[in-house]
Amino acid sequence: MWFTLLTLLIGAERIAELVVAGRNRRWSLARGGVESGSRHYPVVVALQVGLLVGGPVEVWLRRPPVLLPFALVMFILVLAAQALRWWCIGTLGRQWNTRIIVVPGLGLVRRGPYRWLRHPNYVAVVVEGIALPLTGAARITAIAFTLTNLGFLWVRIRAEQRALAMAGTASAARSD
């Protein structure tokens, strides 16, 4: 039951992200932002839904034993991933988005977690994709999401880099 509650809370967090992203998308487009990679955006949604539905379904069906110390470590990693994600959102401000939108004239952000990592939000997604399902011992979901997500990130990051290069600038409303 606690795993389902945790997953629902993460789902609520995703809804909050979508609200922020929608507001930021409107802001970016109003300033001449150009969206790229929209064809693969449904994959973003499908991956997140798969993670949030797959873990609880696996736990309900398989009823795997949960090792409390391991689950606690995974829970701490889930919290750390959320903190990193919201640090990214706060650092990028209106430039953050779940979509790839290049806004002419805005500089590439190089503060906060972007001082050390080029795509820190994707680090949060990878950590969460492993840790959230493993909090409830949903190993199949953790493996399936992680492998699928790694392939997707390869496509997504390349699309972001192309969008920046085509704009001839180092600015973007970043999706990472």
Q: What is the DSSP string of 114-144?
A: GGT-SSHHHHHHHHHHHHHHHHTT-HHHHHH
Q: Please indicate, yes or no, if residue 7 is contained in any of the structural domains.
A: yes
pLDDT at 175: 60
- The average confidence (pLDDT) of the chain is 93
Q: Please indicate, yes or no, if residue 12 is contained in any of the structural domains.
A: yes
Q: Please indicate, yes or no, if residue 176 is contained in any of the structural domains.
A: no
Q: Please indicate, yes or no, if residue 172 is contained in any of the structural domains.
A: no
Q: What's the CATH number where 26 sits?
A: 1.20.120.1630
pTM: 0.90
Range of the domain at 103: 2-167
- The total number of structural domains in the chain stands at 1
pLDDT in tens, 14-43: 999 999 999 999 999 999 999 999 999 999
Residue burial 61-84, b: 16+ Cβ < 10 Å; e: rest? eeeeebeeeebeebbebbeebbeb
Which percentage of the chain shows pLDDT scores above 90?
A: 85
Residue 171 pLDDT > 50:
no
Q: Please indicate, yes or no, if residue 174 is contained in any of the structural domains.
A: no
Residue 168 pLDDT > 50:
yes
The arithmetic mean of pLDDT across residues 141-152, rounded, is 97
Q: Please indicate, yes or no, if residue 175 is contained in any of the structural domains.
A: no
Q: Please indicate, yes or no, if residue 60 is contained in any of the structural domains.
A: yes
Element of type H or E holding 34: strand 34-36
